[in-house]
Amino acid sequence: ITNADGGVLNDPILLRLAENHFWLSLADSDILLWAQGLAVNSGLDVKVCEPDVSPLQLQGPRSREIMQSVFGDKINDLRYYWFVEFELEGIPLIISRTGWSSELGYEIYLRDGSRGDELWERLMAAGEAYGLQPGHTSTIRRIEAGMLSYHADMDSHTNPYELGLGRLVDLDMDADFVGKAALKEIAAAGVQRRQVGLLIGGEPITGSNNEFWPIMHGGEQVGVVTSAVYSPRLDANIALAMVSIEYSELGTETEIVTPMARRSAKVVEKPFYDPKKSLAALKSA
């Protein structure tokens, strides 16, 4: 979803529940008021509201086994980026093969908020034998996968072409959309900066960055590190960064100014791990 200047407002998952019934499963920005304002001025007969739905993610290598123990073999037929309606002991659910982890996983949308505790306990009990624990999104895993965090790696001043997402922009469609004219101009002119992957030298980074780190080349700032972390799996400091187009080529060497010290850095391919998403897109058994 883009604004009039082609900047990214949100990168949600769209679920089509019926012919004229859609859900937007949002990323880390609020789009409700924007969508309602757009609806008022669109001339379309559409109602935009926030449904009484509570999402829960079950992610990880053993998520399929846990889901199968709860929902039966039918869950194995659910393909990557598809969803299905389920009812678990009278609890109404929609389950999709999606998630913010780049691992095999599921998003479970609870359609009756009064039964949240019941659903949670049912899943935790089923997952006990598989080592299931409550948790949060993994910064390490999402940076390894090149997954973008809104407000960190992109915002309303970042366009899809800068993020390498031009393949998702259809400027040839007959329908108009907010930002189409601006994106046509950007596509024709080319971008002045681009998101890249970086390998950062030095000792393992402790934690992740809470502010943008300047990227220097020849005494001049040429970009910023937006997300950085140490990956134990890769035994490397890895980062997502936005740099001037002249310094975005693979192999370009730069220097990072961190709160601890200056560190060397080199532009590399991203994602850093499992670039074809073979883990998340595991085929149905």
Residues making up the binding site for substrate = 107
* Residue 84 Cα distances to 12, 94, 114, 212, 279, angstroms: 18, 6, 21, 40, 21
196: tokens are 């890249």
User: Hey, what are 123's tokens?
Assistant: 């899943």
Asked whether 23 and 51 are in contact (CB, 8 A), the reply is: yes
Backbone angles phi, psi at 189, to 5 degrees: -80, -25
Q: Which residues are known binding-site members?
A: 107
Q: DSSP for 152-166?
A: TTB-TT--TTTTT-G
Sign of dihedral through CA atoms 121, 117, 10, 209?
Answer: negative
Bridge partners, 137 (sequence order): none
CA 186 to chain centroid, in Å, comes to: 23
